[in-house]
A and B are shown apart, each in its own frame.
Chain A
């Protein structure tokens, strides 16, 4: 019996045609990154190459299971597989990689580098994308907290990373030789920071005495500082909240001779959208865009309308902003558009497609656990006009435009029933639909989307990804569900009096 396959979580188009090279699709599914020839759909590479996924999918599924049940003992993994594996990891006994999914994938502007975040080990990994579409891991940098947003600075040389602790860091895309800065000798008290002048109760004084004794006992051990990040990085922005999205933007100056100004926009779980200056002045906050009443999960500034921000999150509204002024241009109730309660915005994508009559620009909005994409166009007065929905075979995960074919590719959930985040299909289809593509036609300002017939899609769907283990227990299924549908947990508890 065929088993379910990991759906694509991220999908990115890499345009390299200008360089005379084939264009490429980069996708993540389960623990793997894949590259495909965007013209033919031929698979070019899989990372990590621990097992040949197309042939010994069974062995791979054992591994996935091993990851789920952490107490798995290593002997149950077949010897054959252990030999097959070149074992590129550091953890000697652990068979599988230390992560179960790759939630963030970013491609550099020149198409030469791919940056991806592996979830559980909090690692930002940068790859070179070779001419043949092969991925070569250049660096892996473990962040202090799990990254929740990743983007490139407009200079193309710097990664900006937001984490679930509310902090945003900048780090060079290509890490240079990191010379650990001579440890700045901060003022350090010899004993605890508290003194008998600052604590007074009997118990506190007692514990202070204990701390002092402990300190003198461990004096040498204490000399070993907590290990700092061993690569170049800079804390640039901090929210006291979970940072959910981070984008960079650039606006040309008011007068023609003034230089373009760059900005960083960050969104958090406490309804804020913060507009800071771009590097190196990210500590200067220029504006707040306040208007959402629940967490803000996604920000999008269309490249063709850089003064417009579209944001969405857990409150069921899409807000269109004049973001440099913090001004709301429009609020669209998504609950009304899709006739569903409590929708959460999962993704907002800008796509730009060439048509005989000129370029068609659209904003596509995907909602958590829903199998449709909402299509909007931006009007001249900077408001969005609803253009209908695109129906898909499964819940939407990611969208990317494929300019070379004038289509939009959408990766969808292969496992769960459409519009459900936890009801698994009774059986996987063959072949499973991992991605679908659509083309657009526009007349008199209205768009209509139709499925595109593309052998590339057939090829990718046929090749598939890695199999999930067969016969999963409900709690194991839930682990998979929770790794892909995380947004609902961001809602705040409702308090009742």
Chain B
């Protein structure tokens, strides 16, 4: 005899089924609702050393991006990659490592409408939320565009305007439960989420110097010293980030844990203790990175999104926590020794 799954799980499954059905109808007249986070929660930690059941391409040239960015698929169907998948008109060049519920992607989407951005998340349920959220946002955008185009009347425009105003009054652009009521640049066609363990498989997705920005926002702090090897920032991983990031590209980090912030600085060899660090050999990871000064960061809209629009940053704001930002620019490869 098998016991039925717990009621919570039953409800989740039912909710997700309905959501999937609703989205399958797609761009019909039905208003597509955004998914609710509470049906997708998952414990905050995943073991990056475990094999999991992951799908990843053999190499970047084998990655099929076409289902993730349907609006950017090359019209020429003869353009296929090594795995026989349709190519895109451009490469993905912004990655949010550990994207969580996708707040950063949604915030960045209108800022860089012509740039393909991907969020990578190891937790399966959270990633389902991101995918579902992006689907819903795209569907809403589609509906709004269709409405604006077909009627093209003042009435319709007024309606859209009114809705947009309402949304702005609420101070909430895209509320979880609500709907997005203005047309935004890029229509969320430029963002996607995929499940992956970037600590192991980043080079399977991205080639040498492919990326222009990497975001690492509020990473799992792994407080215990025994678990520090699981941290997403380390000198050896920074070498890998430098491989996929092009010279001049930026790696953004933000955390609310002061100790982790210092860990980040230390592992980019920007210690708080200059004399100790100066002792290190010249040939360190510092060859590859320079810290971006704060003045420059203030002018960077991406930093604002990272600081105020991700779910985690909102939570930190609510709890009146601190936010520590460090951004590093990829230098050109050093001369061969």
Contact = CB atoms under 8 A, between A and B. Distances in A.
Interface of A: 165-167, 181-182, 184-187, 189, 192-195, 197-198, 200, 226, 234-235, 237-241, 259, 261, 270-272, 274, 276-281, 283-285, 287-288, 290-291, 293, 492-493, 495
B239 A284 contact: yes
Contact of A235 (B236, B242, B287): B236
21 contacts: A184-B271, A184-B276, A186-B276, A187-B266, A193-B221, A195-B258, A197-B320, A197-B322, A198-B257, A238-B236, A241-B200, A271-B58, A280-B337, A281-B336, A283-B288, A284-B333, A285-B243, A287-B208, A288-B203, A291-B58, A492-B51
B92 to A, nearest CB: 17
Given A193-B257, A194-B223, A285 B239 contact: yes
Interface in B235-277: 235-240, 242-243, 256-260, 262, 266, 271-273, 276-277
A306 B131 CA distance: 46
B272 to A, nearest CB: 5
B279 A283 contact: no
B239 A290 contact: no
Contact of A281 (B201, B262, B266, B287): B287
Contacts of B277: 184
A167 B236 contact: yes
B58 A284 contact: no
- Quick one: which of A184, A192, A193, A276 has the most chain B CB within 10 A? A193
Interface string B210-236: 000000000001010100010000111
Contacts of B240: 285
A240 to B, nearest CB: 4
Nearest to B284: A283
B258 A283 contact: no
B26 interface: no
Given A240-B48, A287-B208, 4 more contacts: A186-B266, A240-B49, A261-B336, A285-B243
A276 B320 CA distance: 43
Contact of B273 (A186, A261, A272, A283): A186
B199 to A, nearest CB: 4
A238 B235 contact: yes
B285 interface: yes
B283 interface: yes
B239 A237 contact: yes
Contact of B229 (A165, A182, A234, A493): A165
A174 B193 CA distance: 50
B59 A186 contact: no
B152 to A, nearest CB: 48
A283 B239 contact: yes
B170 interface: no
B235 A283 contact: yes
Contact of B242 (A186, A189, A261, A284): A284
Interface of B: 48-49, 51, 53, 58-59, 197, 199-201, 203-204, 208, 221, 223, 225, 229, 234-240, 242-243, 256-260, 262, 266, 271-273, 276-277, 279, 281-285, 287-288, 316, 319-322, 333-334, 336-337
Contacts of B234: 238
Contact of B319 (A185, A197, A274): A197
Contacts of B256: 197-198
Contacts of A239: 236
Contacts of A226: 225
B321 A198 contact: yes
Contact of B283 (A181, A189, A280): A280
Q: Is the interface of A mostly helix, strand, loop or mixed?
A: loop
A290 B204 contact: yes
Most buried by B among A239, A271, A288: A288
B257 A194 contact: yes
B49 to A, nearest CB: 7
B48 A193 contact: no
Contact of B337 (A197, A281, A293, A495): A281
Given A187-B272, A270-B201, A493 B260 contact: no
A90 B167 CA distance: 74
A24 B195 CA distance: 54
Contacts of A293: 58
B218 to A, nearest CB: 10
A109 B49 CA distance: 36
A290 B322 CA distance: 41
Contacts of B48: 240
A279 B200 CA distance: 23
Contacts of B260: 193
Contacts of A238: 234-237, 239
The 5 closest A-B pairs by CB, nearest first: A238-B236, A280-B283, A193-B259, A184-B276, A197-B321
A193 B199 CA distance: 23
A215 to B, nearest CB: 13
Contact of B223 (A193, A276, A287, A290): A193
B259 to A, nearest CB: 4
B264 to A, nearest CB: 11
Contact of B288 (A187, A195, A261, A284): A284
Which among A166, A187, A194, A283 has the greatest number of chain B C-beta atoms within 10 A?
A283
A288 to B, nearest CB: 5
A254 to B, nearest CB: 12
A189 B287 contact: no
Contacts of B281: 234, 280
A287 B239 CA distance: 12
A187 B276 CA distance: 11
Given A280-B283, A285-B239, A186 B271 contact: yes
A281 B334 CA distance: 9
Contacts of A279: 283, 337
B233 to A, nearest CB: 12
A270 B200 contact: yes
Contacts of A290: 58-59, 203-204
A357 B238 CA distance: 51
Contacts of B201: 270
B200 A240 contact: yes
Contact of B203 (A182, A186, A272, A291): A272
Contacts of A200: 319
A129 B58 CA distance: 45
A241 B52 CA distance: 13
A186 B269 CA distance: 12
Contacts of B208: 287
Contact of A185 (B273, B285, B334, B337): B273
A28 B316 CA distance: 58
A442 to B, nearest CB: 37
Contacts of B49: 240
Nearest to A200: B319
B283 A237 contact: no
A241 B281 CA distance: 27
A213 to B, nearest CB: 16
A181 B272 CA distance: 18
Nearest to A185: B273
A174 B104 CA distance: 51
A316 B181 CA distance: 55
A285 B243 CA distance: 6
Nearest to A268: B200
Nearest to B62: A290
B58 A192 contact: no
Nearest to B279: A181
Nearest to A288: B203
Contacts of B272: 187
